[in-house]
Structure 1
């Protein structure tokens, strides 16, 4: 069969991603006024000013502190609601401005901001003796948050938040351990509104200090051209390798996703560039969309930022953030290595080659010219290693972005670019603010009613006290609860409801939290609500459900690694140096064997009996026993030697047949 190669042009391939010109309200209103009427320009300028003021306050708070805890979180949430109802309409096909459904909630949000700013500290002193007015304000706040969640995140999380709020009152009608004695409206007001255990609990605290700072940091990074640098860097490293364009897509999308913190948003940004390039060199539409979805979603498990959920995990577990990030590094490296192996096997199956070197950026010239753009990420890691808090590290990293941008004209930030980046960072954060506030309602309700403990007992009873059945139950619950939610909110819910059940059966706390964290993330590529996969399918022009199913194949390591963390102590770096290295190698080879089984190809397309051998080898290598490891290694080595020495030339599949079969 004729091998597929890139177009043999003497020109370099175009690796330029579309720059976001006029992408902020303040830029559009001031520099491109003809696109809006006077009143719309004025409205957008007001929104931009509010966002910029909030951004400046957040940076000031990180540097010097600010309002007391409850007041700070309540003011932050109120401004988030104002921006939400100013920006997101009650219906996705409508523009904001409807008198009843947009103006009324916006007015109530402004009134809420005034109330929480002026009523402190008196409101805190009324804990346990809330007034009727307090209860009314709490009710309006909760309803505004639920509606904000619906507009920004979707119906699934909004319904979930509404259910958990109502569960406080209707719990007595539930049977057995899922029920409770019921609570008064005053107790609900105390728990969810007046204290810092509900709406204004850890998720909003982390959102208002760390998450928002890193989203502003990401906006500044993108303004200085780091997105373009990541794309060129990835292609200069992997473009020549067999299947290089897809490998480069994984690397660049993964790098961008760990900064942006949102798999779906990252896929929307990089997918229009990476997916057509993968299709151009011979990958199928389905495979191209699946690779981009997996890379964009998987970037959230890669340190240092990890979609910012790691900061919430540090708050919940009490484990320093740098230890959380260090623990995440090895599993994330294994994940992306195995995704790369899947891509390589698919390239061999289709007979694809890499891109000629003369069409790619020169690695050394790229590092010499733009390598400084990566320094802010290095600064974050160094500062947190030496003991800085994530908030302080993010503040100094943000300052470093500005200083480094001055080195070259093309990355230099003028006053308007700085204001636009501040606005962009805050407006990008609105869905995160709503998600964290909604997660606060859920977490507060779960803690108040004791549902977390009840669910843990229920799950343990359902599993018969056995670890593997419990892991399967938690996996299913994590995927269902995580569907359609941002990483942070999914993790908060799962950590509150499910992680405790695992620790009851002896699983280490950090392992239990990573178990639910991983499945919460990879629910983004799990049908039927595989948001990231559906976005990339639209870009690729492929069938959405088929793309989501193939995303599971490409990202299968993400569904195996959580189990390996539980059963393979080497991945937690426990034991002697030799045992750790051996355990890591066998885990990697087990995942490679499973990739060969899934793709039906290693050096050549595998026969049925070879695929069975690869599956058995993968199962044996995943198990943390010396004799199973050696037996699994023997089977894998046998298949490799057999394929390498076999004389038969197995016919590679052509693209059209692959598409017809949905591969």
Structure 2
């Protein structure tokens, strides 16, 4: 009777989100605060106010550039200093009070004197120097508290480079810059802290983070997860395939690999373990899917909005260009999971335990409409800001269709608060990224670094790509994808463009490796998060995640040499051939990785399969033809071998 109940019990894929408002927020913060609840309520109201400010300006018009960006950063760092103590894990203390007061004084100076500060650009006074210095220090401290010491230290390094350029070797040397000029560049205008990263952060990025919070609160995350399990759950490798699908969909909303792993991994990993997958495999699959969600349009971890501003291509076009490589990434991950399950003869989840796909589509598919609305509005010509504004309104209205998803006033307030709080880490990182961008433009480092890297690579494209890939992984370790991309876009991408790489391919190349740094030791944040949930060894999980997601490390090389995969540089026929070759290559690559394709492979077949996969994506018709011929030969050989083994086994059993 007990077994029968277990067999028919429906899989619970509900993503439960605890609202951080009033009582629940107090429960979360009572260990941090010694003071009365009123302080917790003030923090909550400040977060809600930040979201309302950005929703209002998106719908009804922003302030002037410098004012919009300065209010955005000041509001965010005030919240950071209230939420993140000076010492991690400690309670709010005297240092925190002093920093909050200093932030308030600086905010008063900047907001009341905004027009005068801007008018003095190029001719700053002593007050600007003092408050500019304080503001830079506050940004770096806010970044340290939210993103860790590494990102803050990189900001300090670039500030030091401004003054100590004469001590750097060769092409990296420069005469140095006066202190007042540095403050003027970073603080008084829109070329430093308030440059492109904060422009995007203060207009589009935070709005889409808030939108993601509303979508999750309305049940969108649950819909994506139920849909993935209903679609893939009963297939071979179903639990792992479902984890790949649900994590990919949810990660496009959250924009953060580690956060997404914590949300969806809390039930996908235990489920995979329960059905026989190892701890390490379960954690690695979730890590690969969660991290890869940031490369999947339409939202792409919000980095695509900064990329659009940087390369001067509309967001909707960039999202379209990024679609095929993202599909290839998840296709490889899915095939690795499938072949792994086939090799180990692992079945899917019984249908009676899965959500009913037809009912999910009938009852919950309306939750996907806000994303379609964003895409449709931008295709029609609306700005990302205005599209995000209408999408947030649509999410609330659509949630009222069914009682189960209906958002009441407290749900809306909780979504506003969670959206602002989720954006704080990225805002701080973008502000420090602005310091880096300012240092690069002030010293001319972008041009000299490009020449330096090209010289080291000896002008060889493949070597340059490898150098930039390694640098991108190192720079991306422990950083939010947005901040990693900003740094790499001003240092790595120009070197690739100088050597003839397509501008979209160059920026996508560094973006991909910035994302994949979340899987690579020693700072594989997403892999370590899933390992903690699974109870697996973190380092072994990270290396296994690299194996499962290895195709992702090759995809950037593929679209550099085959820009047709980014829908660049070719007619329909060439793009179609490139797509077919890429998907065949991915299938053979996954089979070689898992040592399975129509049956288990031997060492010779495995090597031939790797060779076929590489040849199929080598530029030129001959590579495709030889790779395809090798693949056909392998398929025939493997089919005959598998049939022979099956026949032999039947005779033995007979």
Band the TM-score falls in, shorter-chain normalisation: over 0.9
Q: State whether residues 240 and 356 of structure 1, in contact with CA within 8 Å, keep that contact through their aligned partners in structure 2.
A: yes
From 61, 64, 73, give the equivalent of 2:60. 64
1:640 aligns with 2:635: yes
> What is the CA distance between 1:238 and its match in structure 2?
0.4
From 246, 252, 255, give the equivalent of 1:252. 246
1:335 aligns with 2:321: no
From 370, 379, 382, give the equivalent of 2:376. 382
Residue 409 of structure 1 aligns to a residue whose secondary structure is: coil
1: CA distance between counterparts of 2:333 and 2:88? 35
Residue 566 of structure 1 aligns to a residue whose secondary structure is: helix
From 507, 511, 514, give the equivalent of 1:517. 511
Question: Residues 85 and 30 of structure 1: is their aligned pair in 2 closer, same or farther, counting only changes over 3 Å?
Answer: closer
Q: State whether residues 534 and 548 of structure 1, in contact with CA within 8 Å, keep that contact through their aligned partners in structure 2.
A: yes
> What is the CA distance between 1:31 and its match in structure 2?
10
1: CA distance between counterparts of 2:129 and 2:183? 6
1:489 aligns with 2:483: yes
> What is the CA distance between 1:570 and its match in structure 2?
2.4
Question: Residues 294 and 468 of structure 1: is their aligned pair in 2 closer, same or farther, counting only changes over 3 Å?
Answer: same
Q: State whether residues 25 and 44 of structure 1, in contact with CA within 8 Å, keep that contact through their aligned partners in structure 2.
A: no
1:11 aligns with 2:8: yes
From 335, 350, 353, give the equivalent of 2:347. 353
> What is the CA distance between 1:572 and its match in structure 2?
2.9
Q: Residue in 2 aligned with 1:656?
A: none
From 490, 502, 506, give the equivalent of 2:500. 506
- Summarize deviations over 1:40-92 as a string: whole Å, max 9, x none: 41111101111111111111111111321111111111111100010011222
1: CA distance between counterparts of 2:353 and 2:256? 31
Q: Residue in 2 aligned with 1:592?
A: 587
Q: Residue in 1 aligned with 2:524?
A: 530
> What is the CA distance between 1:33 and its match in structure 2?
11
2: CA distance between counterparts of 1:49 and 1:569? 48
> What is the CA distance between 1:221 and its match in structure 2?
0.8
1: CA distance between counterparts of 2:529 and 2:33? 32
TM-score (norm 1): 0.94
1: CA distance between counterparts of 2:551 and 2:405? 37
More displaced stretch, 124-133 vs 185-194: 124-133
2: CA distance between counterparts of 1:566 and 1:550? 26
Q: Residue in 2 aligned with 1:609?
A: 604
- What root-mean-square deviation, in Å, do the aligned CA atoms of Structure 1 and Structure 2 show? 1.9
Q: Residue in 1 aligned with 2:622?
A: 627
Aligned pairs for 1:368-407 within 5 A = 368-407=362-401
The number of residue pairs the alignment matches comes to 643
1: CA distance between counterparts of 2:480 and 2:220? 23
> What is the CA distance between 1:38 and its match in structure 2?
9.2
1:170 aligns with 2:167: no
- Summarize deviations over 1:179-199 as a string: whole Å, max 9, x none: 111000111011111110110
From 442, 467, 471, give the equivalent of 2:465. 471
From 45, 49, 56, give the equivalent of 2:45. 49
Residue 8 of structure 2 aligns to a residue whose secondary structure is: coil
Aligned pairs for 1:226-375 within 5 A = 226-375=220-369
> What is the CA distance between 1:8 and its match in structure 2?
9.1
Q: Residue in 1 aligned with 2:652?
A: none
Q: State whether residues 502 and 563 of structure 2, in contact with CA within 8 Å, keep that contact through their aligned partners in structure 1.
A: no
1:207 aligns with 2:204: no
Q: State whether residues 588 and 613 of structure 2, in contact with CA within 8 Å, keep that contact through their aligned partners in structure 1.
A: yes
Q: Residue in 2 aligned with 1:156?
A: 150
1: CA distance between counterparts of 2:329 and 2:261? 18
TM-score (norm 2): 0.95
- Summarize deviations over 1:430-482 as a string: whole Å, max 9, x none: 10110110111111111111111111000111111121111111111111111
Q: State whether residues 295 and 322 of structure 2, in contact with CA within 8 Å, keep that contact through their aligned partners in structure 1.
A: yes
Question: Residues 482 and 613 of structure 1: is their aligned pair in 2 closer, same or farther, counting only changes over 3 Å?
Answer: same
Q: Residue in 1 aligned with 2:75?
A: 79
2: CA distance between counterparts of 1:117 and 1:156? 30
Q: Residue in 1 aligned with 2:651?
A: none
1: CA distance between counterparts of 2:291 and 2:590? 19
In the TM superposition, structure 1's runs of 4+ consecutive aligned residues that sit over 6 Å from their partners are: 30-38
Q: State whether residues 204 and 384 of structure 2, in contact with CA within 8 Å, keep that contact through their aligned partners in structure 1.
A: yes
> What is the CA distance between 1:29 and its match in structure 2?
5.8
Question: Residues 341 and 183 of structure 1: is their aligned pair in 2 closer, same or farther, counting only changes over 3 Å?
Answer: same
Any stretches of 5+ residues in structure 2 without a counterpart? 649-654
Residue 560 of structure 1 aligns to a residue whose secondary structure is: helix
Residue 198 of structure 1 aligns to a residue whose secondary structure is: coil
1: CA distance between counterparts of 2:557 and 2:30? 56
From 88, 100, 104, give the equivalent of 2:84. 88
2: CA distance between counterparts of 1:110 and 1:7? 63
